[in-house]
Structure 1
Amino acid sequence: MTVQLCVLLWARPGAAAALAAYEDKVLSLLGEHGGRVVQRARADGREGRPDEIQLIEFATQDGYDGFMADGRRTALANERDAAVARTDLYPVELSRA
């Protein structure tokens, strides 16, 4: 079963560039787990808005679980914690236009 997610990310104050750099690193691992970025957008983070929005799709739940457990991703936890203040993750159903 396909796993489709909307990810909203808020940077720590002054860390928007660090958030983007961290996400560049971890999102590069998606393909090895049957995942892909459908869309990635940056926002301004003002007035409670997120700094980054992602739509991500995995071919299977096992692929998603493998990505989450990937040691290369988890090894970046300190980098993530320094850059990312908040993450909201929602399962979604992506429409094909």
Structure 2
Amino acid sequence: MALELCVLLWASEGNEEALSRYEDTVLALVPKHGGKVVSRVRSRSQGDGPLEVQVIHMPDESTLQAYMQDPERLALTDVHSEAVARTELLTVETIV
């Protein structure tokens, strides 16, 4: 069954650009696993909300897991740990 995901990302303090560079790199791997980045937006507001929100389509759970375990992605674990303070992954459904 196809998955539609909403990813919410908060940057560690002072690491907003590092988060964006990290996401540039790892999101480039999504098509390799049959997925598609549908939308990627960045907050312009100050506050407690996420810095970046993404909508990603993946063919199924196994392709999502393959992406999550991709060696190129895992090689960046230290970058992720430094740049990203918090991540929320939601399974969603487009209404409009």
User: TM-score if structure 2 supplies the norm length?
Assistant: 0.94
Q: Give ranges in structure 1 of 5+ residues lacking alignment.
A: none
CA drift of 1:57 comes to 0.5
Task: Name 1:35's counterpart in structure 2.
Answer: 35
Secondary structure of the residue aligned to 1:64 is helix
Q: Give ranges in structure 2 of 5+ residues lacking alignment.
A: none
CA distance in 1, matches of 2:89, 2:43: 17
CA drift of 1:46 comes to 2.4
Task: Name 2:63's counterpart in structure 1.
Answer: 63
Contact 1:37–1:55 (CA under 8 A) maintained in structure 2: yes
CA distance in 2, matches of 1:11, 1:44: 13
Contact 1:9–1:50 (CA under 8 A) maintained in structure 2: yes
CA distance in 2, matches of 1:69, 1:27: 13
**Superposition map of 1:3-22 within 5 A:** 3-22=3-22
User: TM-score if structure 1 supplies the norm length?
Assistant: 0.93
CA drift of 1:47 comes to 1.7
AA partner of residue 25 (structure 1)? T
Stretches of 4+ aligned residues off by more than 3 angstroms: none
CA distance in 1, matches of 2:17, 2:66: 27
1:24-50 CA distance string (max 9 Å, x none): 000000001011111000014622111
How high is the sequence identity, in percent, across the aligned residues? 43
Secondary structure of the residue aligned to 2:85 is strand
Task: Name 1:93's counterpart in structure 2.
Answer: 93
